[in-house]
Amino acid sequence: YELTQPPSVSVSPGQTANITCSGDKLGGRFACWYHQKPGQSPELLIFQTTKRPSGVPERFSGSSSAHTATLTITETQPSDEADYYCQAWDVLTPWVFGGGTRLTVL
């Protein structure tokens, strides 16, 4: 099972960024999202496709359709620059991550 993300996404400050994650029937599975800033560990942003852990700003939200999960970041800030990873669970390929998307805010 594979999860495919675009290698990079660019957004202007204050605008909305959408980062996609594609996988077979991903809409029927739980997806989650992490961000990782340079030199830091990954941090959970979204779990079970749409839920935010406590402390994660409401600017971050998750959604999904048939084969795609999407992370949406509204009012994007320069501090949101990071690598973003999606992840899901599949019986044949447990705990699979997408390849990551570098978000650039410029």
Partner 1 sequence: EVQLVESGGGVVQAGGSLRLACTASAMSVTGTYMSWVRQAPGKGLECVSVIYNNDYTHYKVSVRGRFTISRDSSKNTVFLEMSSLTTDDTAVYYCARNHEPAAGGYFDLWGRGTLVIVSS
Q: Is 95 in the site for partner 1 (CB under 8 A)?
A: yes
Q: Is 106 in the site for partner 1 (CB under 8 A)?
A: no
Which letter does DSSP use for residue 50 in this model? T
Q: Is 94 in the site for partner 1 (CB under 8 A)?
A: yes
C-alpha pair distances (Å), 42 with each of 12, 13, 67, 71, 105: 23, 23, 24, 15, 19
Least Å distance, CB 8 to partner 1, is 13
C-alpha pair distances (Å), 63 with each of 55, 68, 88: 19, 9, 14
Least Å distance, CB 14 to partner 1, is 28
The amino acid present at 29, given as its one-letter code, is R
Q: Is 87 in the site for partner 1 (CB under 8 A)?
A: yes
Residues 16 to 75: which contact partner 1 by CB under 8 A?
A: 29-32, 34, 36, 41-44, 47-49, 53
Angle at CA of residue 37, ends 18 and 68, nearest 5°: 30
Residues of the shown chain interacting with partner 1 in the complex, contacts defined by CB under 8 A: 29-32, 34, 36, 41-44, 47-49, 53, 85, 87-89, 91, 94-100
